[in-house]
């Protein structure tokens, strides 16, 4: 269905004939062609015509008809009081929603109430608490290609802003690939583009929004930036950064309905991508830092490390994990702090408890400066400020946190003001009183006293009038329409005094007022009205005074956030038994030495995790072989994660670790069972490989997992071998390469820095047991068929696969397995007796099994036919495309 934005077509057809109110709607829709306009009519936000149909569909609300002198229009509305959940649905359905509010009091308006768009809600600029997950970030980003003075293209400027917290940053990256890498780190919800902007990967998980190209213009952007920071050139490196940043800020202003700069965006940080350990999308994904393809949020690296107590800390830890450090001093400073907290259980748990009381200061600061904060928000700020003295005391004696101690500003002036001004449990509404404390303002106190005295006088009136009139059933009451009254039932009406004036007649009684009651009533309501509006004015003054301190509040927020993130790392380290890593000396050649290393996530899901050592010398390449499921991938990732955690400032899951400061982690996981993408999968694999071969340095860690599998076995082995040789001979990168190409293990004999590792398994009868223990040397058997059997592949398929292997190798895999078991029992690497199977044949069998695994209900006859056909194929002479086509045909046969 095409999105309905701007002016609904049916309304466009009759726009000149509609009522004045609808013509206001038409005008606002025309001003916001990209947004779905929700138009306030009393207590509802309404949409009309096609927009109404869409709102009714997405929000599941009733579609009604509006009828007026100009015609009949479909109409759908959502209640303003309860708008958040409906707005969320519309934003989730990729709508930008423009809220056209009544900006004039309906009672005071002469004629049509004025309306204006006060806010455009878009996926990347949500600020409403109800629509935001706690501790999350919501960025809108933009990318601008950089041009040098001579018109040469030279890299890209990237900017992002989180409109809910005011965080804003810029960076420049050299290549298109780096753009994607940076965006993968930022994970923006929305990406701004103009007509000539470079298109970024369309697969990105963000909404693309086209904005006016003028907002990207150099001068326009620079002018805007100078409204935010005093000296933009000091913060911004080049025009591309300035243009990208100008555009995101302009868009943020537009969506917040502000004409001027957003006060709470008070600093623009600059990242240099060389100042952080670089991780590309493949690394973030395959190391399962934040996402684990649906296995639950705890089963990620972030999930394991996240012991934060506050939303501030959670966001900070997220940032740290996305941008590990490369500056040795900064890493050591974080490690020192974590170390101190690991060593002091009492400080750690007290700190964690106090931090749990901190509200989300970043978002509070945004709301306060945007005048969206209510009295409860100010009280939340006060509550957070109240914990600061305790935080200071808790860390006063921890030298590693002395910098945090010095930066913890108690903001006493702000705290005192809020506490003196705002009631302890204020209402949500700001205009109905109860917000400002007694004794804060003399005029307010006088008004409240007048009101109070009046009410007390009324409260005493009943008794006084009963006595005066002798009517025992006389009562004094109040209602919204008629105000105060004295009620006398019909049988007593003859006793009513002369100064009673009739106000209202009921069935069994009459209601009266006296001149004095009227006078008191005017006094009470006059004072109450005036006091309510004075309270609102005083509240706004207090809020503005606090808003002027936004910068200090944001600094405090960042210190609290860091303390919480450090505390979280210390708790995770203690809970999971991590150790402080030693960083190699700066001058040392990068090498990795881990004793008893573990995978931080897998170890939490396994009953017994087997720790493994790693010893990778400078420029070393480890070729890792072993049966399927034996632990190769887990091992490689745990090595990468140890390095990554260390550079985040975290302890690492190991008994001891000496680690280098890496510049980059590359991971390339080969096209495994998922051939669905066909050629494109292999192409992607190769283009990612190209990037590694171009960019890796001797400070990079490269993980290659079954690279080359996406093509024919012969080509795959050739590519794998050439890649390993190149990495070893030219790049000197630290490399772990898990492979089923046993032929690759021969490289260890040819090149000094290459060595073999293998994961062994033992077999008893048909049962294979994985030891998950890494040992030197190459493995001799893949146990693919045994794994298939254990996975439940029907017996005829398993038997046929054994026949295929036997006939192509002249051998049965049993002998390999037996040799492997015997080697392991003797503690010898299997490579010594290697009876390596022909890779072409075992790959053919693997392929047959992979297909069979895909559908275990296949009949044995079809599978046998496919297996026979597979046997006929001469894979070594096929092109990758031919191989894929043949595979596709075979699979189609199986699917029939």
Ligand X SMILES: Nc1ncnc2c1ncn2[C@@H]1O[C@H](COP(=O)(O)OP(=O)(O)OP(=O)(O)O)[C@@H](O)[C@H]1O
Q: How far is Cα 880 from Cα 887, in angstroms, rounded to an integer? A: 10
Does 634 sit near ligand X (CB under 6 A)? yes
User: Smallest distance, Å, CB 700 to ligand X?
Assistant: 22
- In the list 292, 550, 633, 700, the residue contacting ligand X (rule: CB under 6 A) is 633
Does 606 sit near ligand X (CB under 6 A)? yes
Candidates 22-30, 167-175, 520-528, 603-611; binding stretch for ligand X (CB under 6 A): 603-611
Q: How far is Cα 688 from Cα 692, in angstroms, rounded to an integer? A: 6
User: Smallest distance, Å, CB 151 to ligand X?
Assistant: 49
User: Smallest distance, Å, CB 228 to ligand X?
Assistant: 48
Candidates 243-251, 323-331, 628-636, 809-817; binding stretch for ligand X (CB under 6 A): 628-636
Does 779 sit near ligand X (CB under 6 A)? no
Write b or e for each residue in 744-760: b if 16 or more Cβ atoms lie within 10 A of its Cβ, otherwise e. Answer: bbebbeeeebbbbbbbb
- In the list 5, 625, 630, 735, the residue contacting ligand X (rule: CB under 6 A) is 630
Quickly tell me which residue has 């209900």 as its tokens.
Answer: 857
Does 632 sit near ligand X (CB under 6 A)? yes
Nearer to ligand X, 701 or 757 (CB): 757
Tell me 728's DSSP state: I
- Closest C-alpha among 416, 410, 415 to residue 555: 410
Two tokens, residue 33 = 């062609």
List the interface residues with ligand X, window 116-135 (CB under 6 A).
none
Coarse DSSP helix, strand, coil percentages of the chain, rounded to the nearest 5 percent: 50, 20, 30
User: Smallest distance, Å, CB 680 to ligand X?
Assistant: 22
Q: How far is Cα 847 from Cα 782, in angstroms, rounded to an integer? A: 13
478-497 mask for ligand X (x: CB under 6 A)?
--------------------
Collapse the DSSP code of 513 into the 3-class scheme (helix H, G, I; strand E, B; otherwise coil) and give the result. strand
653-682 mask for ligand X (x: CB under 6 A)?
------------------------------
Candidates 342-350, 601-609, 687-695, 720-728; binding stretch for ligand X (CB under 6 A): 601-609
Q: How far is Cα 889 from Cα 896, in angstroms, rounded to an integer? A: 11
Nearer to ligand X, 150 or 674 (CB): 674
5-44 mask for ligand X (x: CB under 6 A)?
----------------------------------------
Q: How far is Cα 879 from Cα 715, in angstroms, rounded to an integer? A: 8
Does 626 sit near ligand X (CB under 6 A)? yes
Candidates 129-137, 473-481, 604-612, 790-798; binding stretch for ligand X (CB under 6 A): 604-612
Q: How far is Cα 632 from Cα 772, in angstroms, rounded to an integer? A: 8
Contact 846, 887 (CB under 8 A): no
DSSP characters over 847-870? HHHHHHHH-TT--HHHHHHHHHHH
Nearer to ligand X, 152 or 608 (CB): 608
Two tokens, residue 340 = 């101190």
User: Smallest distance, Å, CB 704 to ligand X?
Assistant: 12
- Closest C-alpha among 342, 346, 345, 397 to residue 570: 342
CA dihedral 202, 206, 208, 211 (to 10 degrees): -140
User: Smallest distance, Å, CB 673 to ligand X?
Assistant: 9
Two tokens, residue 480 = 């919204």
Nearer to ligand X, 449 or 606 (CB): 606
What are φ and ψ of residue 82, in 5° steps? -130, 35
Contact 512, 496 (CB under 8 A): yes
Contact 123, 189 (CB under 8 A): yes
Q: How far is Cα 530 from Cα 524, in angstroms, rounded to an integer? A: 10
Nearer to ligand X, 444 or 602 (CB): 602
Two tokens, residue 352 = 């964690």
List the interface residues with ligand X, window 193-252 (CB under 6 A).
none
Contact 158, 172 (CB under 8 A): yes
Two tokens, residue 126 = 């949500």
Q: How far is Cα 300 from Cα 90, in angstroms, rounded to an integer? A: 30
Nearer to ligand X, 186 or 601 (CB): 601
CB-based burial label for 656 (10 Å; 0-12, 13-18, 19+)? middle
Candidates 135-143, 219-227, 564-572, 631-639; binding stretch for ligand X (CB under 6 A): 631-639
Q: How far is Cα 759 from Cα 776, in angstroms, rounded to an integer? A: 9
**The dihedral sign for the CA sequence 73, 79, 85, 88:** positive
- Closest C-alpha among 294, 183, 185 to residue 244: 183
User: Smallest distance, Å, CB 335 to ligand X?
Assistant: 25
User: Smallest distance, Å, CB 886 to ligand X?
Assistant: 23
Does 758 sit near ligand X (CB under 6 A)? no
Does 772 sit near ligand X (CB under 6 A)? yes
Does 735 sit near ligand X (CB under 6 A)? no
Candidates 292-300, 410-418, 632-640, 654-662; binding stretch for ligand X (CB under 6 A): 632-640
Does 602 sit near ligand X (CB under 6 A)? yes
Candidates 81-89, 453-461, 623-631, 839-847; binding stretch for ligand X (CB under 6 A): 623-631
Contact 13, 24 (CB under 8 A): no
Nearer to ligand X, 603 or 732 (CB): 603
Nearer to ligand X, 386 or 604 (CB): 604
Query: Residue positions in the annotated binding site?
Result: 626-633
Does 789 sit near ligand X (CB under 6 A)? no
* Residues that contact ligand X, how many (by CB under 6 A): 14
- Spell out the SS3 assignment of 753-804: CEEEEEEEEEEECCEEEEEEEEEECCCCCCCHHHHHHHCCCCHHHHHHHHHH
Does 610 sit near ligand X (CB under 6 A)? yes
Nearer to ligand X, 311 or 621 (CB): 621
Nearer to ligand X, 323 or 740 (CB): 740
Nearer to ligand X, 288 or 695 (CB): 288
User: Smallest distance, Å, CB 198 to ligand X?
Assistant: 36
User: Smallest distance, Å, CB 386 to ligand X?
Assistant: 47
User: Smallest distance, Å, CB 797 to ligand X?
Assistant: 18
Nearer to ligand X, 56 or 602 (CB): 602
Nearer to ligand X, 116 or 610 (CB): 610
Nearer to ligand X, 313 or 784 (CB): 784
Query: Residue positions in the annotated binding site for ATP?
Result: 626-633
User: Smallest distance, Å, CB 822 to ligand X?
Assistant: 21
Does 618 sit near ligand X (CB under 6 A)? no
* Nearest residue to ligand X on Cβ basis: 631
List the interface residues with ligand X, window 329-388 (CB under 6 A).
none
Candidates 273-281, 353-361, 602-610, 788-796; binding stretch for ligand X (CB under 6 A): 602-610
Does 299 sit near ligand X (CB under 6 A)? no
DSSP characters over 541-585? HHHHHHHTTHHHHHHHHHHHHHHHHHHHHHHHHHHHT-BPPEEPP
Collapse the DSSP code of 116 into the 3-class scheme (helix H, G, I; strand E, B; otherwise coil) and give the result. strand
Does 728 sit near ligand X (CB under 6 A)? no
β pairing state of 44-48 and 71-79: antiparallel
Q: How far is Cα 764 from Cα 784, in angstroms, rounded to an integer? A: 15
- In the list 78, 341, 546, 629, the residue contacting ligand X (rule: CB under 6 A) is 629
- In the list 155, 631, 653, 716, the residue contacting ligand X (rule: CB under 6 A) is 631
Binding site for ligand X (CB under 6 A): 602, 606, 609-610, 626, 628-634, 738, 772
């Amino acid at each position: 269905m095409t999105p309905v934005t701007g002016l609904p077509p049916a309304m466009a057809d009759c726009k000149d004939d509609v009522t004045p109110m609808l013509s206001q709607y038409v005008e606002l829709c025309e001003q916001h062609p990209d947004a779905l306009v929700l138009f306030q009519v009393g207590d509802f936000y309404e949409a009309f015509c096609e927009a109404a149909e869409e709102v009714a569909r997405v929000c599941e609300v009733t579609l009604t008809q509006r009828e007026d002198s100009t015609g009949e229009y479909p109409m759908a509305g959502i209640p303003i009081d309860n708008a958040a959940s409906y707005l969320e649905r519309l934003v989730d359905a990729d709508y930008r929603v423009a809220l056209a509010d009544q900006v004039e009091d309906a009672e005071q308006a002469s004629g049509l109430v004025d309306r204006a768009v006060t806010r455009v809600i878009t996926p990347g600029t949500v600020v409403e608490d109800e629509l935001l997950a706690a501790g999350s970030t919501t960025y809108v980003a933009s990318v601008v290609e950089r041009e040098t003075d001579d018109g040469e293209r030279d890299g890209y400027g990237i900017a992002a802003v989180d409109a809910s917290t005011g965080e804003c940053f810029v960076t420049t990256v050299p290549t298109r690939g780096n753009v994607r890498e940076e965006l993968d780190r930022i994970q923006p919800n929305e990406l701004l583009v103009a007509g000539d902007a470079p298109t970024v990967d369309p697969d990105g998980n963000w909404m693309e929004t086209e904005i006016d190209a003028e907002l990207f213009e150099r001068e326009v952007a620079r002018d805007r930036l100078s409204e935010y920071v005093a000296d933009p050139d000091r913060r911004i490196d080049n025009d591309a950064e300035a243009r990208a940043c100008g555009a995101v800020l302009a868009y943020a202003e537009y969506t917040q309905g502000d004409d001027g700069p957003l006060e709470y965006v008070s600093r623009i940080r600059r990242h240099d991508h060389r100042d952080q350990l670089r991780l590309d999308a493949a690394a973030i994904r395959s190391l399962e830092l934040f996402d684990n393809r649906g296995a639950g949020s705890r089963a990620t690296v972030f999930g394991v490390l996240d012991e934060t107590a506050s939303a501030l800390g959670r966001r900070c830890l997220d940032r740290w994990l996305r941008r590990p450090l490369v500056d040795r001093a900064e890493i050591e400073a974080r490690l020192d702090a974590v170390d101190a907290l690991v060593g002091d259980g009492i400080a750690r748990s007290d700190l964690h408890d106090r931090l749990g009381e901190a509200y989300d200061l970043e978002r509070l600061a945004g709301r306060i400066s945007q005048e969206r904060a209510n009295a409860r928000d100010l009280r939340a700020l006060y509550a957070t400020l109240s914990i600061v003295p305790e935080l200071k005391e808790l860390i006063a004696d921890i030298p590693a946190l002395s910098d945090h101690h010095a930066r913890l500003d108690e903001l006493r002036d702000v705290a005192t003001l809020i506490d003196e001004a705002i009631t302890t449990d204020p209402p949500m509404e700001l205009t109905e009183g109860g917000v400002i404390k007694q004794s804060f303002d003399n005029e307010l106190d006088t008004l409240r006293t007048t009101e109070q005295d009046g009410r007390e006088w009324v409260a005493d009136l009943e008794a006084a009038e009963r006595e005066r009139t002798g009517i025992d059933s006389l009562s004094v009451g109040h209602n919204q329409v008629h105000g105060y009254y004295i009620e006398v039932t019909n049988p007593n009406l003859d006793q009513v005094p002369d100064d009673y004036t009739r106000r209202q007649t009921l069935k069994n009684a009459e209601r009266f007022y006296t001149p004095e009651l009227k006078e008191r009533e005017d006094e009470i309501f006059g004072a109450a009205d005036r006091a309510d509006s004075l309270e609102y004015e005083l509240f706004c003054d207090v809020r503005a005074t606090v808003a002027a301190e936004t910068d200090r509040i944001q600094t405090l927020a960042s210190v609290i956030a860091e303390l919480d993130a450090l505390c979280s790392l210390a708790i995770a380290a203690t809970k999971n038994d991590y150790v402080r890593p030693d960083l190699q000396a700066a001058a040392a050649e990068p090498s990795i030495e881990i004793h008893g290393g573990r995978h931080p996530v897998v170890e939490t899901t396994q009953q017994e995790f087997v720790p493994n050592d790693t010893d990778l010398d400078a420029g070393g390449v480890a070729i890792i072989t072993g049966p399927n499921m034996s632990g190769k991938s887990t091992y490689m990732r745990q090595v990468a994660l140890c390095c990554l955690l260390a550079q985040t400032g975290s302890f690492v899951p190991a008994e001891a670790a000496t680690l280098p400061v890496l510049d980059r982690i590359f991971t390339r996981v080969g096209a495994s069972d998922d051939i669905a993408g066909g050629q494109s999968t292999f192409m992607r694999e190769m283009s990612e490989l190209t990037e590694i071969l171009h960019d890796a340095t001797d400070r990079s860690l490269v993980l290659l997992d079954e690279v080359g599998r996406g093509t024919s076995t012969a080509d795959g082995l050739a590519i794998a071998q050439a890649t390993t040789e190149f990495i070893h001979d030219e790049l000197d990168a630290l490399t772990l390469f898990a492979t089923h190409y046993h032929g690759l293990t021969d490289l260890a004999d040819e090149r000094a820095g290459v060595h073999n590792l293998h994961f062994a398994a033992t077999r008893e009868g048909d049962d294979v047991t994985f030891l998950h223990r890494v040992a030197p040397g190459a493995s001799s058997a893949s146990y693919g068929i045994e794994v298939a059997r254990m996975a439940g592949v029907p017996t005829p398929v398993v038997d046929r696969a054994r026949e295929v292997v036997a006939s192509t190798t002249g051998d049965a895999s049993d002998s390999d397995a037996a040799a492997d078991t015997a080697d392991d029992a003797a503690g010898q690497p299997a490579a010594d007796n290697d009876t390596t199977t022909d890779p072409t044949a075992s790959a053919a069998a693997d392929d047959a099994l992979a297909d069979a695994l895909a559908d275990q209900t296949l009949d044995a006859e079809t599978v046998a036919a496919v297996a026979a056909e597979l046997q006929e194929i001469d894979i070594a002479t096929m092109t990758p495309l031919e191989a894929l086509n043949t595979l596709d045909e075979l699979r189609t046969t199986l699917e029939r």
